[in-house]
Amino acid sequence: MLQAGSAVAHIDPSHDVPHAGWGAQTHVLAAGRDDHLTVSALYAGDGQREVLILDYDLCVLSMPQADAIRQAVARSTGISAEAVCIRTTHNHAGPMIEASYYQVGDAAREAYLQSLVYQGTEVATWAKKKRRAARVAVGHGTSSIAKNRRQRLASGRVVTGCDPDGVVDPEVTVIRVDGVDGSPIAAVLGYACHATTLGPPNTMVSADYPGAAKRLLAEITGATVLFLQGAAGNVGPGFEGFTGDVSVAHRLGRILACEAARVYEETRTQPVRAVFDRVVESGAPLGVFRIEPEALDEQTVDYLSTPLALPVDPQVPIDEAIARADEAAKALRDLQAQGADDAAIADATFRAKRASMAARRSRDFYGSATKDVELQLLRIGPAVVAGIPAEPFCQVGLAIKAASPFTHTFFGGYTNGCLAYIPTADAYPLGGYEVDTTPFSPEAADAVVAGTLAALARFAG
């Protein structure tokens, strides 16, 4: 019989860890905390195989950072590292934990990264220890909070804004995990939308809309709630994004949580059928039914990790890219030391961020024609969760779900690290942020779809 357990812990950063990392922000450290950041764990095992998902309220983790957590969890729990899934909500209002171009916070950031390994290992261990006989079911709904964000201006320029007519993936996926007595263990909420409600004006540490959705869904259901970010590369909160008003993130989270709660309550982990029983004479003749259990969906656990070779465009030589990043970071620090005005600071921060991103791309991709990207598949009962360490456009997720051999497939990015955007081929002639900053070639999106569907076919046996 399938067993499952869950656990959750706070992962709030200290006050001296740099905040957010927006190119247009003028602050370095957060002014306070809007809500708690968390790491949530779901363990599942069927006596033969075990899997574990960790959900962090963070923007991204590098692949080495995610791997350090996976290895630590594997050592502590005995679960194969390939069966440990590290997900981030892609929250842009938390700590800045990538390599910093600021002159403060390096030691604090490194200490925070170590704490993420410790906290992840702790909740993973507790989730396994709390395991008990369980049942799993999956339900689906829809939400319209996500909007396509590739806005094309009259000039032809593509900006990261809101295209209300652009393609999105509106599906809300809810994986419900109950004990065999019907008591809640976990609710896994999957949705595709950038967590960028809070933007450069925001100075508060926050979990953005995914955190708000998880909190309310947990209150309603009594379950530990995890959030799985979908294929969100070209979708976000639309015209409500990039604000400094935390109440907007709370509102969007409530909207999503209410739909997820509806799906959760309508989804039964023990299927039943209503059978007419008798008539009770009570003024009106009352038709009374009895409820009988039906057979469960398959309640097995499995995992698969396989590389996808994705095509890569030529990159700037590493030494040259690092020199540009160092120069941009020094220019920013000089302006900060001089007490320059906000406009100058924002412009220098933007240049430092872009140069830092370019240097990271060169380190990861220079000299390569292809890059092996890990595709991870997890099966928990009737649910299949697939993910890659990248930011795929939503069309990638839609194509995979439509052709999957499994009834319930969720596909997302931000899994076991994050490398770069994977735009669809038709986006490249238009340009825009996602195209300008990706190392991947136009053929990469189709390669992800084909490779994932081939792996799902093998997974289905």
Instruction: Please count the residues of the chain.
Output: 461
- Calculate what percentage of the chain has a pLDDT beyond 90: 88
Q: Where are the domains of the chain?
A: 3-267+372-460, 318-365
pLDDT mean over 434-461: 97
Q: What is the pLDDT of residues 207-250, one digit of tens each?
A: 999 999 999 999 999 999 999 999 999 999 999 999 999 999 99
SS (H, E, C) 157-179: CEEEEEECCCCCCCEEEEEEEEE
Beta carbons of 329 and 356 less than 8 angstroms apart: yes
Residue 140, C-beta contacts closer than 8 angstroms, at least 6 positions apart? 171, 172, 173, 174, 263, 408
- At 33 the pLDDT is 97
Smallest Cα–Cα separation from 166: which of 196, 193, 195? 193
Degrees (nearest 5) of the Cα angle 12, 17, 20? 85
Q: What is the pLDDT of residues 256-310, one digit of tens each?
A: 999 999 999 999 999 999 999 999 999 999 999 999 999 988 899 999 999 999 9
Tokens of 209: 């809309």
> At residue 436, does pLDDT exceed 80?
yes
Residue 112, C-beta contacts closer than 8 angstroms, at least 6 positions apart? 13, 14, 17, 95, 97
Q: What is the pLDDT of residues 88-125, one digit of tens each?
A: 999 999 999 887 788 788 899 999 999 999 999 999 99
* Separation of alpha carbons 76 and 80, rounded Å: 11
- At 238 the pLDDT is 94
> At residue 141, does pLDDT exceed 90?
yes
